[in-house]
């Protein structure tokens, strides 16, 4: 079931290979694991995509695509998972990353007297930047590992469940 559901929403690799804008990638774009849905490529895609989602840069999708090429992860899933950080989810996620960074560095809780303005953010970037980036790194690693092992466990569970139902159907006939 998860494989069928994922295939339903996956782009056609042949159409993507014909895109002139992607020709600079050459034969690497024809790598099977970039497009196949197997336990290894999908779990690696979750690890790559969830880690890249916590990188606070505008180029998250490019970073996820490059990492998917490098690690042999499923390319569309890696890039799609980056969309977890969007204009609606980004403020709470990055604030949480800042709080995690503060706690991890032993700096206590965030200041409540901060006035949100462009001037204040730029003037105190050094103060907030370190804990924020450290929190993003910690959460990226945690989410990446949880996604990788979670998908592997879910995939194994689903396959064993299919085998079990196949065995019971075979015994009934």
pLDDT in tens, the chain (173 residues): 455 666 666 666 666 666 655 555 566 666 766 777 888 889 999 999 999 999 988 889 889 988 998 898 988 899 899 999 988 998 889 889 988 998 998 887 766 665 655 566 666 667 778 888 999 999 999 999 999 999 999 989 988 888 888 778 777 76
Q: Considering the entire predicted model, what is its pTM?
A: 0.76
- Token pair, residue 58, equals 């505008």
Structural domain that includes position 89 = 33-172
Q: How many structural domains does the chain have?
A: 1
Alpha helices by DSSP H, 37-124:
39-53, 60-71, 75-81, 90-104, 118-123
128 assigned to some structural domain: yes
pLDDT for residue 114: 57
22 assigned to some structural domain: no
pLDDT for residue 47: 96
44 assigned to some structural domain: yes
Contact status, residue 106 vs residue 72, Cβ threshold 8 Å: no
pLDDT for residue 20: 58
23 assigned to some structural domain: no
115 assigned to some structural domain: yes
4 assigned to some structural domain: no
15 assigned to some structural domain: no
Q: Helix, strand, coil proportions of the chain in percent (round to 5)? A: 75, 0, 25
93 assigned to some structural domain: yes
Q: How far apart are the first and last CA of the chain?
A: 23
CA distance 64 to 48: 6
């Amino acid at each position: 079931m998860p494989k069928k559901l994922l295939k339903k929403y996956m782009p056609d690799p042949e159409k993507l290979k014909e895109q002139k804008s992607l020709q600079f990638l050459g034969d690497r774009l024809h790598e099977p694991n970039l497009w196949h849905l197997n336990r290894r490529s999908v779990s690696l895609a979750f690890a790559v995509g969830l880690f890249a989602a916590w990188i606070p840069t505008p180029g998250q999708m490019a970073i996820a695509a490059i990492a998917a090429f490098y690690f042999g992860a499923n390319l569309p899933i890696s890039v799609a998972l980056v969309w977890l950080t969007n204009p609606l989810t980004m403020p709470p996620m990055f604030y949480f990353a800042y709080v995690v960074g503060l706690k991890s560095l032993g700096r206590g809780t965030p200041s409540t007297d901060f006035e949100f303005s462009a001037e204040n953010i730029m003037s105190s970037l050094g103060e907030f930047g370190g804990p924020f980036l450290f929190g993003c790194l910690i959460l990226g690693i945690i989410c990446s590992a949880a996604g990788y092992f979670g998908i592997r466990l879910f995939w194994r569970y689903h396959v064993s469940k299919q085998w079990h139902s196949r065995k019971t159907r075979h015994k009934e006939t």
